[in-house]
Amino acid sequence: MQKGVIAAGSALTAEAGAKILREGGNAVDAAVAAAFVSFIAEIGVVHLGGSGLANLYDAQSGKSVVYDFFSNMPGLGDAERTHDDLDFSETIVRFPGTSQSFYIGHGSVAVPGNVFGLCQMAAERGTMPLHRLLEPAVKLARDGFPMNDFQAATCRLLTPIYTATPSMREVFFENDTFIEEGERLLIPNLVKTLQRLGEMGAEEMRSAGRIGRNLIQDQASKGGLVTAKDLDAYRVLQNPALRVTYRDCEVLLPPPCSVGGVLIAFSLKLLREFDVAGLGVNSAELHALLFNALQLTARARRELDGAVLDGSFGRFVDTFLSDAYMRDYVHDLQSAMGEMRPISAEPPRPTHPNTSHFSVLDGNGLAVSITTTAGESAGHIVPNTGFIPNNMLGEADLNPLGWHKWQAGQRMPTMMSPLIVLQNGNVRLVSGSGGSERIRSALLQTITNTIDHQLPLGKAINLPRVHAERDTVQLEYGQETGDQLAAWGFTVNQWQQPSMYFGGAHSVAHRENALRGAGDERRDGHVAFA
């Protein structure tokens, strides 16, 4: 009998989870071990100092829960602090074809949730001691590892941030050259930090713990907002999943603080009014439908964002997803597809690629879907810890009110949407993605490819994707499809090859009495079995 399967954004991450499964751990144990390894092995996209969401489902009991360990706005107990003296500076990152502005520094750091969430999951849902779950990460931190081409390229993309301070240059820019493929990555002091986490658990992140104490001192002395009260008051939230029926399946999505989960539910409710399977795999008609559904969802998001900003997000979700609210949107989509014309939507906020996802399914039907992010990192390492903080307060899409406008202690919103699909109470699909705005388009297509088109998992994930950006169809290759869309009046930006821009939906599934897994090739996806 198979003990489990994990799909992740690196071979090292996937193998760490599979090793725990082979040793008798469950899917939660494997997920926790893999997450801590990912903060090293996938250092181009995630860090220990970030935050995340985890979606869990147990097929044996039929119970599901979403662990919300996303970031809080810092500043509790520090009413006298002004924003005039914050270490908060703009940096420009040049992506292929565009440039984007980010803010980094100590004033960009939000309260980090990763350690709190992962430790609590291990204690409540795992079966193995935390120190054993951290052994793969400790070994990797001690021995280092040769950077592969994907991680080296991702780090190099963020050169202005990864070389912003002496502490970062020590790791990524030795002898005046940026770390390259094949060179060994080592982070000073990280081994000791991980070992103490294994012994102390989440208390190590509180104000009395070594990481927490160093973080607070570093923040206070160098223009940050995170306080002792922020760390001591932080709580991991546990909420029921948001459930939406799609064909003969049920999709479990994260509720608020996840804006992404609510928007995916909205898009699925639009698509279920159409014969998606009848449009054919990867056809121009299918891409037109997906684009227009995404555009209408973006249009509806304006009102959802208003609820986020005024504090009524949680209460508004039922209304937002009600048949009465959606009726006009369904009519607009039917009308546009009847005339085969594009739908216009407001431009979205700027987005970023720095998110990672992995999916785990064990032989007993326990499924875990986890997405984490640290933004691009704050551009420094907390002294004596190897701890790289996030820059959530420097992300435009997470701060629509303007910089540092959230109320201290408030949970920030996120597009992350780790999901689980059930069929007759059994796990059909465990998925999620990195990619900010592209998360929902990547997952929407993963779901339709799996459920409507009945494609094998690898093909469902790695088929060309479409994304709606402003009023442009971002099409991930397929010249004939692009030409047909253009002939119908769609504005098309034709990509010539797969790109991490379109997300990374590393997924696992249970099909035909066997566990399956597939890594998204756009983001160095790997699968490991136990």
Query: Is the CA virtual torsion 477, 480, 481, 484 positive or negative?
Result: positive
Question: Cβ(213)–Cβ(383) under 8 Å?
Answer: no
- The separation between CA 7 and the C-alpha centre of its own chain, rounded to angstroms, equals 14
More confident residue, 409 or 513: 409
pLDDT tens-digit map of 204-244: 999 999 999 999 999 999 999 999 999 999 999 999 999 99
Beta bridge partners of 242: 253
* Total structural domains within the chain: 1
- 375 is written with which tokens? 């933004």
- 92 is written with which tokens? 């420009």
Distances (CA, A) of 489 to 130, 294, 334, 482, 492: 56, 17, 17, 11, 9
Question: Cβ neighbours of residue 404 under 8 Å, at least 6 residues apart?
Answer: 83, 86, 107, 225, 393
Task: Name the residue type at position 237.
Answer: L
pLDDT at 269 over 60: yes
64-81: buried (b, 16+ CB within 10 Å) or exposed (e) per residue? bbbbbbbbbbbbbebeeb
Q: Which domain holds residue 317?
A: 239-351+424-511
pLDDT tens-digit map of 240-256: 999 999 999 999 999 99
pLDDT at 175 over 90: no
Q: Which pLDDT score is estimated for 487?
A: 97
Catalytic residue among 154, 193, 227, 355: 355
- Helix crossing, 323-339 with 284-310: angle to 10°? 150
**In terms of Cα–Cα distance, which of 133, 117, 107 is closest to 51?**
117
Q: Which pLDDT score is estimated for 96?
A: 67
pLDDT tens-digit map of 86-126: 999 999 988 665 677 899 999 999 999 999 999 999 999 99
- 164 is written with which tokens? 């912003």
Q: Is 383 left (phi over 0), alpha (psi -120 to 50) or beta?
A: beta
Q: Is there a domain that residue 503 lies in?
A: yes
More confident residue, 92 or 381: 381
pLDDT tens-digit map of 153-168: 999 999 999 999 999 9
- Give the gyration radius of the chain's Cα atoms: 22
Task: Name the residue type at position 383.
Answer: P
pLDDT at 351 over 70: no
pLDDT at 350 over 80: no
Q: Is there a domain that residue 139 lies in?
A: no
Domain with residue 258: its CATH number is 3.60.20
Can you tell me which residue has the tokens 């160095």? 524
Mean local confidence (pLDDT), 415-423: 97
Q: Which pLDDT score is estimated for 347?
A: 54
Helix (H, G, I), strand (E, B) or coil at 378: coil
Distances (CA, A) of 404 to 222, 396, 409: 17, 11, 12
- Please count the helices (runs of H) and the strands (runs of E) in the chain: 18, 22
**Lowest mean pLDDT: which of 91-100, 294-303, 306-315, 438-447?**
91-100
Q: Is there a domain that residue 520 lies in?
A: no
**Lowest mean pLDDT: which of 30-39, 85-94, 345-354, 421-430?**
345-354
Q: Which pLDDT score is estimated for 311?
A: 86
Q: What confidence tier does 400 reach under pLDDT thresholds 50, 70, 90?
A: confident
**Lowest mean pLDDT: which of 15-24, 97-106, 186-195, 501-510?**
97-106
Distances (CA, A) of 9 to 351, 432, 519: 20, 11, 7
- Whether 373 sits among the annotated catalytic residues: the reply is no
Q: What confidence tier does 354 reach under pLDDT thresholds 50, 70, 90?
A: confident
Q: Which pLDDT score is estimated for 1?
A: 67
Mean local confidence (pLDDT), 472-493: 93
Label each residue of 292-354 as H, E or C: HHHHHHHHHHHHHHHHHHHCCHHHHHHHHCCHHHHHHHHHHHHHHHHHCCCCCCCCCCCCCCC
Question: Cβ(427)–Cβ(361) under 8 Å?
Answer: yes
d(CA 17, CA 40): 14
Task: Name the residue type at position 41.
Answer: A
